[in-house]
C-alpha cells in the first residue's frame, strides 16, 4: 500500500496535474463567488437559504445549501458552521478569534483540487460559518457508491491523482488536513475531486478539548490513538498523519462499496 501511495504522489500528480499551475483555479472547476482571494469577505447580506434546515450534518458541523448574489454572480453555495457549545461570552470570544484566525489562514489557499473558502457568513449558529462553492456530485464516497461499476481504471486513478494533488498542495503550505476520508473529498460538476474541510477537525477539537479522532477512526494514523503519559494535550495531527489517511482511504477505489479486490492486482 505504501508503494501505491508513493506512485500516486510521484507519477500520477505529474501525469494528470502538470497542465494546471499550482495555485491557479480553473473557472470551469468551480467558479469564483468572490474574486478577492486574500481578504476574508463577510457575505451575510448576500446569502439566502434554499431550505429551512441543514442539508447535511457531519460529526462536528452542519451544511446548508444556499444561493448567493455577489456583484454579477448568482450561484449555489454551501454554508458550513461548526457545531460547538458556547458556554459563555468569554468562550464565544475565544471561539470567534480562533475561527477567524484559521479562516484568514485558509482563505488565500487556491488550487483546482481543494475546495476554496469564498468568505464567511452569520446566522447559521452562534459563530461565523464558511461559504464555499456547492459541489453538485456530493462526496467521493457517495460518488463511488453510485458509479463504481461504470468507472474505468483510468478514471479511478484520475480521481486519486486529484486527491493527491490537492493534499500535496496543502502540505506545501504546511496545512495538515487531519480528517482525510472519502466524505471530505467532493466531486465537482465536471468530475474533478476537491479536498474539503482541511484543518477544520483540528480547530474543532482544540476548541472543544476533544480527541482528534471522531468519524475518521478507520482512516486515522496510529499515533493519534496514543494516550499521553501526562495530562498534557496530545500533539495535533501532522502532515505525515494525512499520508496514512490517504493510504487507508484509497482502498475504496479497489473495493467500491463492498468489494474484496486486493492490491495483488497491482503489478507495476
Per-residue pLDDT tens digits for 40-50? 999 999 999 99
The band of 64, judged by pLDDT with boundaries at 50, 70 and 90, is: very high
pLDDT for position 216: 64
Per-residue pLDDT tens digits for 104-132? 999 999 999 999 999 999 999 999 999 99
pLDDT for position 122: 95
Any idea which architecture 2-265 has in CATH? Orthogonal Bundle (1.10)
Burial of 149 (0-12, 13-18, 19+ CB in 10 A): exposed
Q: Give me the percent of the chain exceeding a pLDDT of 90.
A: 41
Q: What is the mean pLDDT of residues 70-79?
A: 83
If you write DSSP's letter for every residue of the chain in order, what string do you get?
A: -HHHHHHIIIIIHHHHHTTS-TT---TTTS--S-S-SSS--B-GGGEEESSSS-SEE-SSEEEEEEEEEETTEEEEEEEEEE-----SHHHHHHHHHHHHHHHHHHTT---TTB----EEE-SSSSS-EEEEE--TT-BHHHHHHHHGGG--HHHHHHHHHHHHHHHHHHHHTT---S--SGGGEEE-TTS-EEE-STTHHHHHHHHHT--S-STTGGG--GGGGPPPSSSSPPPPP-HHHHHHHHHHHTTHHHHTTT----GGG---
Q: What is the mean pLDDT of residues 223-232?
A: 61
Question: Domain coordinates of the chain in residue numbers?
Answer: 2-265
Cα 182 from Cα 195, distance rounded (Å): 9
- Measured from the Cβ of residue 234, the count of other Cβ atoms closer than 10 Å reads 14
Q: What is the mean pLDDT of residues 185-214?
A: 82
Which region holds residue 106: left if phi is over 0, alpha if psi is between -120 and 50, else beta? alpha
Amino acid at each position: 500500500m505504501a508503494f501505491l501511495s508513493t506512485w500516486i504522489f510521484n507519477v500520477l500528480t505529474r501525469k494528470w496535474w502538470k497542465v494546471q499551475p499550482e495555485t491557479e483555479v480553473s473557472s470551469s472547476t468551480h467558479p469564483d463567488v468572490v474574486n478577492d482571494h486574500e481578504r476574508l469577505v463577510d457575505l451575510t447580506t448576500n446569502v439566502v437559504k434554499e431550505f429551512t434546515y441543514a442539508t447535511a450534518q457531519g460529526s462536528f458541523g452542519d451544511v446548508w445549501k444556499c444561493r448567493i448574489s455577489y456583484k454579477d454572480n448568482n450561484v449555489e453555495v454551501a454554508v458550513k458552521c461548526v457545531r460547538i457549545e458556547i458556554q459563555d461570552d468569554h468562550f464565544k470570544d475565544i471561539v470567534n478569534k480562533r475561527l477567524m484566525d484559521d479562516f484568514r489562514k485558509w482563505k488565500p489557499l487556491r488550487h483546482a483540487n481543494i475546495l476554496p473558502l469564498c468568505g464567511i457568513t452569520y446566522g447559521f449558529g452562534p459563530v461565523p460559518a464558511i461559504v464555499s462553492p456547492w459541489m453538485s456530485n456530493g462526496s467521493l464516497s457517495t460518488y463511488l457508491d453510485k458509479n463504481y461499476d461504470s468507472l474505468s481504471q483510468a478514471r479511478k486513478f484520475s480521481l486519486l491523482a486529484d486527491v493527491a494533488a490537492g493534499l500535496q498542495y496543502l502540505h506545501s503550505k504546511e496545512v495538515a488536513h487531519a480528517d482525510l476520508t472519502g466524505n471530505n473529498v467532493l466531486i465537482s460538476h465536471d468530475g474533478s475531486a476537491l479536498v474539503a474541510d482541511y484543518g477544520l477537525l483540528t480547530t474543532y477539537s482544540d476548541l472543544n478539548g476533544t480527541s482528534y479522532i471522531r468519524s475518521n477512526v478507520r482512516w486515522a494514523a496510529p499515533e493519534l490513538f496514543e494516550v499521553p503519559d501526562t495530562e498534557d494535550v496530545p500533539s495535533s495531527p501532522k502532515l505525515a498523519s494525512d499520508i496514512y489517511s490517504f493510504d487507508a482511504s484509497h482502498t475504496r477505489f479497489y473495493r467500491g462499496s463492498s468489494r474484496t479486490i486486493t492490491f495483488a492486482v497491482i503489478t507495476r
